[in-house]
Chains A and B, each alone.
Chain A
């Protein structure tokens, strides 16, 4: 089947699968940022927490993705719906880069700036929102970028547990020994990852404070 016929027949499917994929990634990133950034701030404030928090996130990261999905499968409520299961596993995966980069970004703020802010009478909250976060946003974004690309990749594997998305094309193509199907999943997934990486690194660069 040549390319135009293939696209005609499967084009709609591919689009749907891409949207499913993006939705999985978007939901995951929103959750992991909402959880990860505050945890990163906490770690920056209380360094003794860095070992337990970063340590746990590291454990989650180290477990092979398919194994993590497998672990969560028998959990009640989570395992009943593939999207819940997948978003949970993906969020756990995405946490480490985000927590680590947020903590690094905030601790990396020039101590003189922090001292001046404190000495002038800014409240801790004002310092966080007006000084520390704006100054570390580029670093935090770097973590978000790594997490996003990672999530796009692992979401592909999640098709093995029924999450849909572009990975499903790949698995079906493998089972049918059909290269076109495999590529129909692989190419958009790769393109998504590259696009996300590019867009986020441009943003990262624009937001980096000039020294």
Chain B
């Protein structure tokens, strides 16, 4: 058994772990980051391709929260975490939501001024920008449809840089904060899975891991550390804590944005290389309409989700783009570590109000796409009929039931909530786990709720804030 030592161990290299690593390493601390997944060159595979799913997705994308209905979800499992597989949309935490969280969970130093300061820091390092020039047709369609209906639509900023020809490069953690952390002295160990934290009273003294060596052999490893940050995301973080015997308010209250899709066929070919950057925000924050990955395989999947004959549409798949309606959910779920198994049991219960909101969202999505000029709409409803006119959308309302809706999600949060109200949170206002002096969480788990938008900006902002607070005690 090999033993390594470090001052600060960071478990997970996604949006939370990478920011934490860069902050602490730049402050001169000894930092080691361990990541369960492999290092994959960000240019090695095409975004949203089958190769990307095999290399970078946990379970190759085959994860699901059980419930009625079951909801498929995706997580990254590679150096850089989910920032390597998402669409790179960037949206600051809405101030009214931060205010609500601050009051409800008694979160200290969570005012707009504080959060803006850290958001400014993150954005100065992340090339948060808007698309230069006109949006691609798939994105412009949302803007056009919303304008015809008198609805609000906006282009979301993204963490992209653009070359002189307008070609964008997503600024993932593997391209930004992780190399900067390494430049400042941090060490990153890929393909190193932490199975358990080693507890001693109210201290964590290290972690038990298995590491895949370059030759393929598996090595048992103990990493001793003075401080531990767990940044594995809203599913893996509570799983590790529970496997380590830490269970109080851990893994409960899982939140995400249940999402339903529609494949929209247009009279001509649209773009498919990128994800639309416009969002219809008329009903935000409770309902957001946007565009999804629309490679040939995604188009086929979305078309097949309805029971309609889709062969003709698939034959001209270049004319088809996948869009979605996502809601902020009143429901919640749970992450439960299962003894002897690596993967946890994930469950989620949607409320009746959620289902109604999602059904309404599906209809609004249909309205905006027809207004944008789509000629055929295929909903992700088993037995859902193809809509060609606004009158056809009524059938979708009747067809929407938990057993027929095919739902998915990507934004998972809230399984170790932060705040000083100990009865409702798993960690204090800065992510320190209750009952442990040197164990901190710094990822999506801390967010008290799913924010209604891509949470990456909120995760990074909060991670930077928490890292600074940690440094102030050293």
A binds B: no
Chain A residues at the B interface, C-beta cutoff of 8 Å? none
